[in-house]
Amino acid sequence: MIRYLVRRVLYAFPILIGVNLITFFLFFVVNTPDNMARIHLGVKHVTPEAIRQWKAEHGYDKPLFLNSDGQGVNKLTDTLFVERSLKLFALDFGKADDGRDIARDIKNRMWPSLAIALPVFIFGLMANITIALLMIFYRATRLEYLGVIGLIALMSISGLFYIIAGQYFIAKLWQWLPISGYGDGIDAFKFILLPVLVSVAAGIGSGARWYRTIFLEEIGKDYVRTARAKGLSEMRVLFRHVLKNGMIPILTGAVVVLPLLFTGSLVTESFFGIPGLGSYTIDAIRAQDFAIVQTMVFLGSALYILGLLLTDISYTLVDPRVKLS
Partner 1 sequence: MTLPLMNSQLVVLWTDALVWLLVLVCAIFSMHVVRSPTLRMAWHSVLVRPMGMASLTVLMAFVLIGLADSIHLRERLDNGQYDVEVHSLLDRALGDLNAHPERTYSAPLAAYALAKETVQQPDGIQTREYPRLRFGGAHLVDPTADWANDVTTRAAKGVALGAIASVLLMAFCTLLLSIFRQQSPIRVLLGIVRPKPDTIAWRSFMLTLLVLCILAGAGMTLAQGYHVMGTDKVGQDVLYQSLKSVRTGLVIGTLTTLVTLPLAIGLGLLAGYFRGWVDDVIQYIYTTLNSIPWVLLVAAAVLVVQVFIEQHESSFSSAAERADVRLLALCMIIGLTGWTGLARLLRAEVLKLREQDYVTAARAFGVSNLQILLRHILPNVQHLILISVVMDFSGLVLAEAILSYVGVGVDPVMNSWGNMINAARLELAREPVVWWPLATAFSFMFALVLAANLFADVVRDAFDPRAGNQHSGKDGEA
Residue 14 as a binder of partner 1 (CB under 8 A): the answer is yes
Residue 181 as a binder of partner 1 (CB under 8 A): the answer is no
- The length of the chain is 325
Contacts of 16 (CB under 8 A, 6+ apart): 89, 298, 301, 302, 305
**Nearer to partner 1 by C-beta: 117 or 293?**
293
Q: What b-and-e string marks burial along 154-175, b requiring 16 or more CB atoms within 10 Å of the CB?
A: bbeeebeebbeebbeebbeeee
Residue 197 as a binder of partner 1 (CB under 8 A): the answer is no
**Nearer to partner 1 by C-beta: 122 or 157?**
157
Q: Closest Cα partner for 24 from 301, 294, 302?
A: 294
Torsion of CA 237, 241, 246, 247, to 10 degrees: 120
Residue 139 as a binder of partner 1 (CB under 8 A): the answer is yes
* C-alpha dist (Å) from residue 36 to 47, 63, 99, 151, 281: 13, 15, 15, 45, 18
DSSP 156: T
Q: Among 5, 66, 143, 152, which residue interacts with partner 1 (rule: CB under 8 A)?
A: 152
- In the chain, how long is the greatest CA-to-CA distance? 85
Residue 9 as a binder of partner 1 (CB under 8 A): the answer is no
Residue 156 as a binder of partner 1 (CB under 8 A): the answer is yes
Binding-site size, partner 1 (CB under 8 A) = 50
Sign, CA torsion 274/275/280/286? positive
Binding to partner 1, residues 160-179 (CB under 8 A): 160-161, 164, 167-168, 172
Residue 245 as a binder of partner 1 (CB under 8 A): the answer is no
Minimum CB separation of residue 189 from partner 1 in Å reads: 24
Residue 39 as a binder of partner 1 (CB under 8 A): the answer is yes
Minimum CB separation of residue 306 from partner 1 in Å reads: 10
Q: Among 116, 242, 305, 309, which residue interacts with partner 1 (rule: CB under 8 A)?
A: 305
Where do contacts with partner 1 occur on this chain (CB under 8 A)? 14-15, 18-19, 22-23, 26-27, 30-31, 35, 39, 139-140, 148-149, 152-153, 155-161, 164, 167-168, 172, 213, 216-217, 219-220, 260, 263, 266-267, 281-282, 285-286, 288, 293, 296-297, 300-301, 304-305
